[in-house]
Structure 1
Amino acid sequence: MAEDILKRTDDESMVDAAFRKLLDCYMQSSHRQKVDIITQAFNFARQAHRGVRRLSGEPYIMHPLAVAYIACKEMGLGSTSICAALLHDVVEDTDYTIDDIESIFGSKIATIVNGLTKISGGIFGDKASAQAENFKKLLLTMSDDIRVILIKICDRLHNMRTLASQPANKQYKIAGETLYIYAPLANRLGLNKIKTELEDLSFRYEHPEEYENICRKLKSTQEQRDMLFDEFTSPIRAALDKMGMQYEIKARVKSPYSIWNKMRNKHVTFDEIYDILAVRIICSPREGEDEINECFQIYVAVSKLYKAHPDRLRDWLNHPKANGYQALHVTLMSLLGRWIEVQIRSKHMDEIAEQGFAAHWKYKAGENSPDDERDKELNDWLRTIKEILDDPQPDAMDFLDTIKLNLFASEIFVFTPKGEIVTMPAECTALDFAYNIHTFIGSHCIGAKVNHKLVPLSHKLQSGDQVEVLTSKAQHVQPEWINFVFTAKAKGKIQAQLRRDEKVIRSEGEEMLRQWFKEHDTEMTVSLVDKLCDLLEVHKHDQLYLGIGRKSFVLDDVLHKKLTGKKRKAVDIAGWRKYVPFIKAEKKKAVKTEDKFIVTDDFDKKKPVYLTEETIGKYIFPDCCHAIPGDDILGYIDNKNRIKIHRRDCPVAIRLKSSYGNRIVDAKWGMHNQMLFDAGIFAKGIDRIGLLKDVTQILSDELQLNIKSVNINCENELFEAHFAIRVHHRAEVQDIIKKLRGIQGIEEISME
């Protein structure tokens, strides 16, 4: 009894201290001081969550307090956002309603809390992810009030910081969602610091060994970087002091996730990454000086000290990124022979880069309608969201992919024939640009002139291109267009038009089938149409009508005889397929479903499944990632309740974690080097006589490996090679790569 009282006293003290910390942070901000309503919201939330604890064991109210503190301290949000953060779980987890919140705290706070309240079910159906529906609700509310998404990101950041208390399958689900949705969203809103932390935390839980390895290497090379930073910045400080500049110089170290990503994408080791260190110069403009001019003066000064890379100047001062980021990036050659990126920006630009301009949008210092250019960009972005939500995809994963395609892409700047600048996502094509102008222009586009040269619809645009769209009234949307557009808007408009076209073709096909039955004096019944579907191996009536409308199926006397014969014969595949020569029969897999492990109602998703020599055959290994022992893996429960094993960094697994997180289970290896697994190695470099001999000597003679196949292509004295080998464990592949890396001529080598 005494222990319980003591624990309650400790809890109360901890909660009071956290609230005082929040109030102190708020009082130091530039917002109008509204302590009373924040205190009221805190007391309300504290009472509502009384007696409830998190998995970590601490009182639940500590979570809303932490979210509110992040909103205040790291985003610079005001009292409305802080109150909404304190109340964000009240409606979902207690008996209070949105009406209660509105009657006590007003409509603004109630609207934000409503947007943050999780929902289940929805347009994606029972088997789809509630996360996708939650995300859609979030975006809908965000269109009215950007603070919804900002507080949601604060909520996700605190969940990631306290993820250790969750079971492994929940860790993979939450980390996957974070990396797939929230980190890119934070980046798109200009929340660079939060984006980096979300990525690193996701990386830490998904690939703990690789995360620790990179952190260890960063720590061991810290002294070397400090020395390089001091030597590089010393002349810069002297030059800026001489100019009378007010400035601050910081070292920016690449994050563990960014390093790991570059190691994978560029097929290099940690030691081969040369841009781990960057230098950031933050200036405070002198009185009467323009901040952009001041930044360019610093650029001129540092360019006199060090040689600049001609192709690595990035001017985001005059043309800020769509997320509000403004800076001048230049890459300089240090005296030690290392390229170092220097980022030059003002103090105001630095605040925007760290907190994001969205945090200051329409709500800072009581402003209701600022006409700043950045606000226009944010409004354009919100308008894009509304367009996507007007035509949502029926499948959860398609919906999330559509959001990612358009909102999280890198940007390029292209020009209209009149010289107007249009911001487009990188990888976009001429057809994307046409749809960006207007749906009618996109639907009737026949080509484009890029820099006055005729190009096809599929031509990828580059930053600085001037684009003129060519149209024709005779042109119509083609199905293949979907393969070479990139933006969500273009994909959505093309799919919508194709669906409308298909509807017309289906109606024509149904009428053709009805006429065919009539010609053979047969009544068109549902059972006969079902039999016809079985005969032609289609699953739905709509697919049958579409095939008939497209003339894919031939309605003749032979087909009618098969359909209405007294004795039902087995389907003669060859018989009907001769009318459809372009369709090939699918090869049946030899795997028996009953041999696989089937998930039942009593299956505990919190416990990992172990893959051993005895059990590995009970699980399915899809072709997308070829997981082998040593890989970080997870399991996915498919629609037939079987478990599919994916690598955690597999693109398919990333989508599954974000869209179907409730089907994710933890999976671990329990192998004992008794089985061999297929692995691939890719090598690239400078060709020479005897190179293949050196490679095979190491693989076969020294390492005693079984080489399944070798594919080498040599051109212009360069070679690319693919080796298929059999190994017991991922560590063996790393050892092989390490040995092959030492062969003369091999410049790049990685595991496929």
Structure 2
Amino acid sequence: MKQYASITAEERLDIVREYRQLLKSIYDLFTLEEIRQVRKAIEMAMGQHPVMRRASGELSIVHSLEVAKLVIDEIGLGKTSIICTLLYDLVEASLIKVDQIEQLFGKQEGVIVEGLAKVAELYSKNTSIETENFRKLLLTFAQDLRVVLIIIADRLRTMRNLQRYDLESQQKISAEVSYLYAPMAHRLGLYTIKSELEDLVMKFTNREMYKFIAQKLNETKRARDKYIAEFIAPLEQELKSHGLKFDIKGRTKTIHSIHNKMKQQNGAFEKIYDLFAIRVILDSELKEEKADCWKVYSIVTDKYQPNPSRMRDWISIPKSNGYESLHTTVLGPEGKWVEVQIRTRRMDEVAEKGLAAHWKYKGGKSERGMDQWLSGIREILENPEANAIDFMDDFKLNLYDEEVFVFTPKGELRRLPKGATVLDFAFEIHSNIGKKCVGAIVNQRNVPIKYALKNGDTVEILTAVNQQPKKDWLNIVVTSKAKGKLKQALKEIEYKDAEIGKELLERRLKNAKSELTDNALHQAVRYFKCKTIHDFYCDIAAQRLDILAVRDYIADYEKREHEKSLPESPGGRSAENFVAQNIVPDHAGSEILTIDKNLSNVDYKLSKCCNPIYGDEIFGFVSVSGGIKIHRVDCPNARDMYNKFGYRIVKAQWTGSTGTDFQATLKVTGNDDIGIVSNVSLLITKEMKLKLRSITIDSQEGTFEGTVSVFVNSTSLLQTLIKRIKNVKGVYSVSRIDRV
């Protein structure tokens, strides 16, 4: 990420300028001790990495100084965040350790710097934001909110200087900011930063449209300013006559939001009328805030005709990110609709700097909003089974959201995203209530689970004992919590159904004196056009497949395979008796090779083609070199050896104990659940205390197929192991295979 080079005279001037500007920003806000701490951090940063550079070629120290200034000026964070912003590059470059920072500055600084260094480490791996690594990123964010805010400031500074990067990097960084950081800034109430990030993304990804709208705004600026002045003039006079202290100004909407309106309305720039909003900011005491805001609202709506459907009260019940304001849309001069936003100085600072302002207004509603946001992240992270794409989609559900406020029957207020349904509300209360939900009583009338909640609804959830979640519920819920819990519940139900289907099929086959082998199972899955073994068993349980037809198909398949494996009938002997009773010909000699731990005068080896184990029926085959290879009587090469080299076969059997462990390989198939491999390996090594040589797993479409190599001392122990593995939750089948 960084390279080393010499510093030019111009770069030295840049460092000095940024250093002075940062000190200027902190002098009026911090105590002398805090200023000393910040200066110590600046001197450490400048002394340790003056020649470190970013991917753009820019000096890292200049970037760090500018980000630190952003952190204080545009987000409103304090001394701790500035120190961490200046030092985390040093930790990433291993120029200083976290425990040194803790000793010099404090424990909290160490925690935040470590979090920032972890984020930087993820970026150094060229991580895609749609990979599992971003779960780690969000976990880091959840440790301390200031990690998120510093990284957002870092991304903003990068976007402001994105022209320094190559085109590929510009696209990659812009996509990442659009996908994750702009929505996150919005969710944290950083509206100014969020708007600038969106405009900058558009500037580098949709250059022509960005230039077009910017040019149009520039051309219409004079007319727009004239209209704003005409709209404001009578309001200013009226507000002053009521003794109110205030600022009033017009704010042009962002290029990104104008572009969105053009797309939504499918119209040209000239047809977009609400290009700006009027903002009234009051100087008001905390206890008078609400009353003063409503007084202004009354004055505005007396002067201009309001649109009742466009009134928004976020003063009585602020947004979850701490945003407080009164919004109304009124009919201004020339019959144009104008949005008016009314708020106090405190509310405006929270609106501009979002949840970070809680450090200044401690104990306010914005602090509770911060806690809710962090708990929302943690809740999504609790679902370890979500894949990377689903996980990021679920996370984004909680970012850009408008809200509805509803009540429980006891009058408790609950906040949900706009569009949330009765089913979302049920899962919000408790997962078990969500799973059993059959509807609700909303404002004294019965409604179904898909009813979309409205502001002010009083909701009483109805449940039924025999109710269970269904797949189509995923189309009803909108909150990430409900989606996550629902997916988890559906997976549990499917697993139980698959187990039932498996037991039904095995019972039918047992009655028909047939056995379910891996080959037969895979052939049946293909024949009955199921995507996975898991789906195959679920279809049997749900009676979507005729179990008798499945049984007959598998029984016929096994019979055909068995017949294929039998040899031609030699000398009048039945082919069945050939393998089952006497693979060794009569002329093989009257002596029987007895294999036990005392056998030392015969050179023998266990064949690799069938891997015989103590307890298997075996025979010996004299090799060209004179040694004897031991094979199982059901070895796949047995028939060829008998037909071509019958004179080289000797009878063999096990006697007593060989005192040896034999390697055996098992084929295991099952449902691709988290932890299943761990459960199998723990069973082998911990419970049965066997030596595990290797385990390999291949996952595809919700199922896995793997091989397990273990050391056992007999076939009876191997059979016990096979039975135990079959009992592991999620395992479909286990069978012994010949080759290691």
Over 3 Å counting, the alpha-carbon distance change for 1:82 and 1:132 in structure 2 is: farther
Match of residue 555 from structure 2:
560
Deviation at 1:24, TM superposition (A): 1.0
Over 3 Å counting, the alpha-carbon distance change for 1:547 and 1:39 in structure 2 is: farther
Distance in structure 2 (CA, Å) of the matches to 1:320 and 1:271: 34
Structure 2 letter corresponding to 1:91:
V
Q: TM-score, normalised by structure 1?
A: 0.69
State the SS of the aligned residue for 1:340.
Answer: strand
Structure 2 letter corresponding to 1:172:
Q
Distance in structure 2 (CA, Å) of the matches to 1:277 and 1:381: 30
8 Å Cα contact 2:130-2:392 kept in structure 1: no
Aligned pairs for 1:231-630 (under 5 A) are 231-285=230-284, 290-356=288-354, 358-361=355-358, 363-364=359-360, 370-538=362-530, 540-553=532-545, 554=547, 555-562=550-557, 565-566=560-561
Aligned pairs for 1:137-152 (under 5 A) are 137-152=136-151
Deviation at 1:520, TM superposition (A): 4.9
Moved more, 300-309 or 557-566: 557-566
8 Å Cα contact 1:200-1:256 kept in structure 2: yes
> Over residues 447-469 of structure 1, what are the superposed CA-to-partner deviations in whole Å (9 max), with x where a residue is unaligned?
11222222111111122222221
Match of residue 38 from structure 2:
38
Q: Any stretches of 5+ residues in structure 2 without a counterpart?
A: 565-740
8 Å Cα contact 2:422-2:453 kept in structure 1: yes
> Over residues 690-722 of structure 1, what are the superposed CA-to-partner deviations in whole Å (9 max), with x where a residue is unaligned?
xxxxxxxxxxxxxxxxxxxxxxxxxxxxxxxxx
Structure 1 letter corresponding to 2:206:
H
8 Å Cα contact 2:323-2:366 kept in structure 1: no
Distance in structure 2 (CA, Å) of the matches to 1:121 and 1:110: 16
8 Å Cα contact 1:250-1:280 kept in structure 2: yes
Deviation at 1:170, TM superposition (A): 2.7
Moved more, 310-319 or 202-211: 310-319
Structure 2 letter corresponding to 1:37:
Q
How many equivalent pairs are there?
A: 556
Over 3 Å counting, the alpha-carbon distance change for 1:14 and 1:512 in structure 2 is: same
State the SS of the aligned residue for 1:143.
Answer: helix
> Over residues 301-344 of structure 1, what are the superposed CA-to-partner deviations in whole Å (9 max), with x where a residue is unaligned?
22222222222221112111111111111222122211111111
Match of residue 719 from structure 1:
none
Over 3 Å counting, the alpha-carbon distance change for 1:277 and 1:330 in structure 2 is: same
State the SS of the aligned residue for 2:248.
Answer: strand
Higher-Rg member (1/2): 2
State the SS of the aligned residue for 1:332.
Answer: strand
8 Å Cα contact 2:188-2:321 kept in structure 1: yes
Over 3 Å counting, the alpha-carbon distance change for 1:127 and 1:215 in structure 2 is: closer
Distance in structure 1 (CA, Å) of the matches to 2:470 and 2:268: 45
Match of residue 26 from structure 2:
26
8 Å Cα contact 1:98-1:110 kept in structure 2: yes
Distance in structure 1 (CA, Å) of the matches to 2:405 and 2:32: 39
1:89 aligns with 2:86: no
Moved more, 71-80 or 51-60: 51-60
Distance in structure 1 (CA, Å) of the matches to 2:385 and 2:492: 15
Deviation at 1:221, TM superposition (A): 0.5
8 Å Cα contact 2:514-2:555 kept in structure 1: no
8 Å Cα contact 2:431-2:485 kept in structure 1: yes
8 Å Cα contact 1:74-1:355 kept in structure 2: yes
8 Å Cα contact 2:112-2:146 kept in structure 1: yes
Higher relative contact order (CA 8 A, sep 6+): 1
Deviation at 1:103, TM superposition (A): 4.1
Q: TM-score, normalised by structure 2?
A: 0.70
8 Å Cα contact 1:128-1:395 kept in structure 2: no
Deviation at 1:84, TM superposition (A): 1.0
Structure 1 letter corresponding to 2:140:
T
Deviation at 1:567, TM superposition (A): 11
8 Å Cα contact 1:68-1:86 kept in structure 2: yes
Match of residue 221 from structure 1:
220
State the SS of the aligned residue for 1:324.
Answer: coil
8 Å Cα contact 1:279-1:340 kept in structure 2: yes
Distance in structure 2 (CA, Å) of the matches to 1:438 and 1:288: 36
State the SS of the aligned residue for 1:117.
Answer: helix
Deviation at 1:177, TM superposition (A): 2.0
Over 3 Å counting, the alpha-carbon distance change for 1:564 and 1:408 in structure 2 is: farther
> Over residues 149-179 of structure 1, what are the superposed CA-to-partner deviations in whole Å (9 max), with x where a residue is unaligned?
1111111111211222233333222212212
8 Å Cα contact 2:516-2:554 kept in structure 1: no
State the SS of the aligned residue for 1:330.
Answer: strand
Match of residue 639 from structure 1:
none
Distance in structure 1 (CA, Å) of the matches to 2:203 and 2:57: 22
Deviation at 1:376, TM superposition (A): 2.2
> Over residues 123-164 of structure 1, what are the superposed CA-to-partner deviations in whole Å (9 max), with x where a residue is unaligned?
xxx999456545433432343321111111111111211222
Distance in structure 1 (CA, Å) of the matches to 2:563 and 2:17: 79
8 Å Cα contact 1:446-1:457 kept in structure 2: yes
Match of residue 108 from structure 2:
108
Distance in structure 2 (CA, Å) of the matches to 1:289 and 1:439: 40
Moved more, 31-40 or 204-213: 31-40
Aligned pairs for 1:59-98 (under 5 A) are 59-94=59-94, 96-98=96-98
8 Å Cα contact 1:119-1:134 kept in structure 2: no
Distance in structure 2 (CA, Å) of the matches to 1:409 and 1:487: 10
Distance in structure 2 (CA, Å) of the matches to 1:540 and 1:5: 57
> Over residues 335-383 of structure 1, what are the superposed CA-to-partner deviations in whole Å (9 max), with x where a residue is unaligned?
2211111111111111111111x2133x449xxxx54333223222222
> Over residues 459-487 of structure 1, what are the superposed CA-to-partner deviations in whole Å (9 max), with x where a residue is unaligned?
11122222221112221222221111111
Over 3 Å counting, the alpha-carbon distance change for 1:502 and 1:330 in structure 2 is: same
Q: CA RMSD in A?
A: 2.9
Q: Any stretches of 5+ residues in structure 1 without a counterpart?
A: 570-752
Match of residue 690 from structure 2:
none
Distance in structure 2 (CA, Å) of the matches to 1:492 and 1:6: 52
Moved more, 462-471 or 126-135: 126-135
Over 3 Å counting, the alpha-carbon distance change for 1:478 and 1:45 in structure 2 is: same
Structure 2 letter corresponding to 1:299:
Y
State the SS of the aligned residue for 1:419.
Answer: coil
8 Å Cα contact 1:120-1:133 kept in structure 2: no
Over 3 Å counting, the alpha-carbon distance change for 1:289 and 1:416 in structure 2 is: closer
State the SS of the aligned residue for 1:34.
Answer: helix
8 Å Cα contact 2:6-2:51 kept in structure 1: no
Deviation at 1:289, TM superposition (A): 6.8
Distance in structure 1 (CA, Å) of the matches to 2:380 and 2:554: 44
Deviation at 1:551, TM superposition (A): 3.6
Match of residue 637 from structure 2:
none
Over 3 Å counting, the alpha-carbon distance change for 1:419 and 1:101 in structure 2 is: same
Over 3 Å counting, the alpha-carbon distance change for 1:32 and 1:434 in structure 2 is: farther
Distance in structure 2 (CA, Å) of the matches to 1:485 and 1:65: 45
8 Å Cα contact 2:436-2:469 kept in structure 1: yes
Moved more, 135-144 or 236-245: 135-144
